[in-house]
Structure 1
Amino acid sequence: MTDASSGATILTGGRMTKGVVRVDDSVRRPITRSSEFVAALLTLFEQKRFDGAPRYLGQIDGMDILSYLPGDVPARFRTWSDEQVAAAGSLLRSMHEATRGSELAGRCPVVCHHDVGPNNAVFRGEEPVAFIDFDTAAPGSPLEDFGYMAWTWCISSKQTTAVDHQAAQVRILADAYGLERPERSVVVDCILERQSRNARFWAEFLAASDTASTSPEVIDARIVWSRREHSFTYTHREVFDNALV
């Protein structure tokens, strides 16, 4: 949708930040409490020559200005190929390494995106090449992001693919990321924790007073989905553990 008065194209699909628009080769997002940290993070990426994220271009009229990344962002989760899963794992590792030991990471190993699902990945052709929407980025453990990525890229209670195939893709993701054996032994626990955290997050979001832009029915569905995925992963955790170690 284009606003004829400003020449801006309204970008839809975001679950958290409303009012995001594209103007020529830039994306403009309302300034939020996370804007300062995100600006510093995107600047660090540029300094480290990590090109899998937008560039920070400044602020104007209450909006953060970021570079526009051409490509497609999936509207829904689905089954991904082994090659796509491996590309996502490599991209995540490169992003983490760009922040390792930085002031932004503080006492934590890296800065995490905290929402590295396919819905926040830019695809060119069939390959994920960048992440967007860093509003929830914060210092953390690499396994926080990895656990969420393993869930949202590889695991689904509603997929038609067998659990063994899903587990094999989690292993492909671990190989592409470069997880060592001790880290692999706790991956399933990290997945379960992120699924539980997701349910808690949306429950708290539902209870907040400023969530009118998202219907209670939609939020309820996200809570139910998170809990169902947790039950599925827990039920089959031995399959996932065996594939990893």
Structure 2
Amino acid sequence: MTEMPLSGGRITPGVVRVGDTVRRPASAASAFVAELLDHLQQHGFNGAPRHLGRDAAGRDVFSYLPGWVPARFQHWDDAQVASAGALLRAFHDATRGSRLTGSHDVICHHDMGPNNTVFVDAVPVAFIDFDTAAPGDPLEDLGYMCWTWCVSSKPDALPASAQAAQVRILADAYGLDATTRRGLIDAMLDRQARNARWWRTRLDGTGPRITDDGQIAARIAWSERERAHTADNRVAFATALR
């Protein structure tokens, strides 16, 4: 069958669509991802691809999820933000208390941006690319999702008060309790700082090189601008979350 390159991902090269399947090069994460996706299927979470084994080339094979995956971050309306938050809660709940989580509360995806989300009829319905999934704290995913779905330092972005209102919508849709949501702003700041550090390892040679130096430097600078924007508007975010 014909292989169609899928170019949306920035991290894993060589991902292709073959019929109604997606093939990805195997990695150190393959065994855990396979077990996680099998667990999600067994526990009724339909917002993720199915793992279908390996092909003759040794690649991981997943079911193809029809829909649209955004290539860039952009503004999302309140209903889309709420749907994303509810979907994240369903994913976390499907892993909560499982053998996979070890001593942690849930399995975190760790890259819950819109660019790893499948939309159908403009509604977020599934997550993809689970290579970074690992046991963790729900706020790790929530902080990253609030940032990448609701917050932007771009000059033409919504004002901080409107961004903060959407963070509240996402937290409410997730069902975040009053005690835990007090840590949400710090979780956003932490994920922005971690993103800058992650890209910096690609620039200093301690991590695999996946793009050119100029693009890496731009992503570091963007992460730092986003963190400064969030910190500068902390009062607006905190007021909305109360």
RMSD: 1.1
Q: 2:142 aligns with which of 128, 135, 146?
A: 146
Say whether residues 1:48 and 2:43 are aligned partners. yes
Q: 2:162 aligns with which of 162, 165, 170?
A: 165
Structure 1: tracts of 5 or more residues without a match: 1-5
Deviations 1:121-154 (A, max 9, x none): 0000110100000000000000000000000000
Q: 1:114 aligns with which of 82, 107, 110?
A: 110
Relative to 1, partners in 2 of residues 1:161 and 1:142: Cα closer, same or farther, differing over 3 Å? same
| CA distance in structure 1 between the partners assigned to 2:215 and 2:69 by the alignment | 20
Deviations 1:189-222 (A, max 9, x none): 0100000000001101222377444111111111
Task: Name 1:32's counterpart in structure 2.
Answer: 27
| CA distance in structure 2 between the partners assigned to 1:28 and 1:109 by the alignment | 30
Deviations 1:9-68 (A, max 9, x none): 011021111000000000000000000000000000100010000000001222000000
Q: Quick one: which amino acid aligns to residue 68 of structure 1?
A: Y
Say whether residues 1:178 and 2:175 are aligned partners. yes
Task: Name 2:68's counterpart in structure 1.
Answer: 72
Q: 1:127 aligns with which of 123, 126, 133?
A: 123
Task: Name 1:156's counterpart in structure 2.
Answer: 152
- Larger deviation, residues 30-39 vs 201-210: 201-210
Deviations 1:149-199 (A, max 9, x none): 000000001143111110000000000000000111111001000000000
Structure 2: tracts of 5 or more residues without a match: none
Q: Quick one: which amino acid aligns to residue 74 of structure 1?
A: P
- Paired residue total: 240
Secondary structure in structure 2 of the residue aligned to 1:57: strand
Q: Quick one: which amino acid aligns to residue 147 of structure 1?
A: G
- Percent identical among aligned pairs is 57
**Given that residues 201 and 207 in structure 2 are in contact (C-alpha distance below 8 angstroms), is that contact kept between their aligned partners in structure 1?**
no
Q: Quick one: which amino acid aligns to residue 167 of structure 1?
A: A
| CA distance in structure 2 between the partners assigned to 1:139 and 1:212 by the alignment | 26
| CA distance in structure 2 between the partners assigned to 1:240 and 1:169 by the alignment | 10
Secondary structure in structure 2 of the residue aligned to 1:9: strand
